[in-house]
Amino acid sequence: MSQLFSWKWFHRLGSPRWFYQTSGKWLPWLSMLATGLLLVGLCWGLAFAPQDAKQGNSFRIIYIHVPASFLALAGYYVMAIAGAIGLIWKMKLADMVMKSAAPIGAVLTFVALVTGAIWGKPTWGTYWVWDARITSMLVLLFLYLGVIALQYSYSSQDAASKASAVLSLVGMVNIPIIYKSVDWWYTLHQPATIKFTEAPSMHPDMFQPLLVMILGFYCFYAVALILNTRVEVLCRERRTRWVQELVASKCT
């Protein structure tokens, strides 16, 4: 009985209509939480955190660079897992999530690369080096762009979703390479600031606003993904009765 209930819940979760109706209730709260965390984290990190002993104020770009990098990697997992669910269980909503996650991930990866380059100039004396971490992040950007391109390369949406899902899954091999690159190869990039197995290498006065910013970015990512997916749901389900009724109710 419990197994039957769990499968019903799983398939209900994959319903575009259920997602659209339910996510509308989450958005205001998530938006307020994301805005609050980002404002607090930015003010705390940029105005009140102490200067770094070696880098001075230039280190403060960490409050954008690190959260963007975190979400670029985590967002790829979201995209790839959604693609796998779409391939295995043929869930339309999973394909919509995968397509919606790709441009958000691409923007976050681009932000991570740009902020890293800006940070690199005063630290390394150059905006760009073919460092293992930076190069693998560039590959991540190309993977995101590849998924986006595949979405518009087929006349059939099903074929586009399958091709995008395969590329997403193949590209997952790059994620552990990005994370471990500073340990596996000689690299200019500093080691990871935050590790699950160790205490953070930053002073608490610097680390605490960074943690707030990371949480804010996660909430922001959730809001952006939900909004993108809701638009995709309306686009793909525009001929269904429930969408037509929704549009009619908004117009009256």
pLDDT (tens digit per residue) in 211-234: 999 999 999 999 999 999 999 999
Q: How far is residue 89's CA from residue 7's CA, in Å, rounded to a whole number? A: 12
Choose between 184 and 81: higher pLDDT: 81
CA distances from 229 to 9, 19, 24, 101, 245 (A): 20, 9, 11, 8, 19
Sign of CA dihedral 28, 31, 37, 43: negative
Which residue in the block uniquely carries the two structure tokens 């295995």?
Answer: 88
Supply the pLDDT for residue 199. Answer: 62
Q: Beta-carbon neighbour count of residue 249 at 10 Å?
A: 8
Given a contact cutoff of 8 angstroms between Cβ atoms, the answer to whether 242 and 17 are in contact is yes
Q: What is the mean pLDDT of the chain?
A: 89
Q: Of 6-10, 101-105, 125-129, 188-192, which range is least confident? A: 6-10
Supply the pLDDT for residue 196. Answer: 56
Best CA proximity match to 105, nearest among 133, 152, 71: 71
CA distances from 212 to 68, 107, 217, 232 (A): 13, 21, 9, 30
Q: What is the pLDDT of residues 240-251, one digit of tens each?
A: 999 988 888 887
Q: In sequence order, which residues have a C-beta less than 8 Å from that of residue 45 and are 6 or more positions away?
A: 60, 62, 63, 206, 209, 210, 212, 213
Supply the pLDDT for residue 5. Answer: 46
Q: Of 21-35, 45-59, 133-147, 151-165, which range is least confident? A: 45-59
Q: What is the pLDDT of residues 7-30, one digit of tens each?
A: 555 566 678 999 999 999 999 999
Q: In sequence order, which residues have a C-beta less than 8 Å from that of residue 69 and are 6 or more positions away?
A: 112, 116, 137
Q: How far is residue 217's CA from residue 180's CA, in Å, rounded to a whole number? A: 22
Given a contact cutoff of 8 angstroms between Cβ atoms, the answer to whether 136 and 177 are in contact is yes
Helix, strand, coil percentages for the chain (3-state, nearest 5): 80, 0, 20
Indicate whether 106 pLDDT > 90.
yes
CA distances from 187 to 129, 133, 141, 236 (A): 10, 8, 20, 45
Q: In sequence order, which residues have a C-beta less than 8 Å from that of residue 241 and are 6 or more positions away?
A: none
Beta bridge mates, 52: 56
How buried is residue 143: exposed, middle or buried, by Cβ count under 10 Å (0-12/13-18/19+)? buried
Q: What is the pLDDT of residues 153-193, one digit of tens each?
A: 999 999 999 999 999 999 999 999 988 876 666 666 666 66
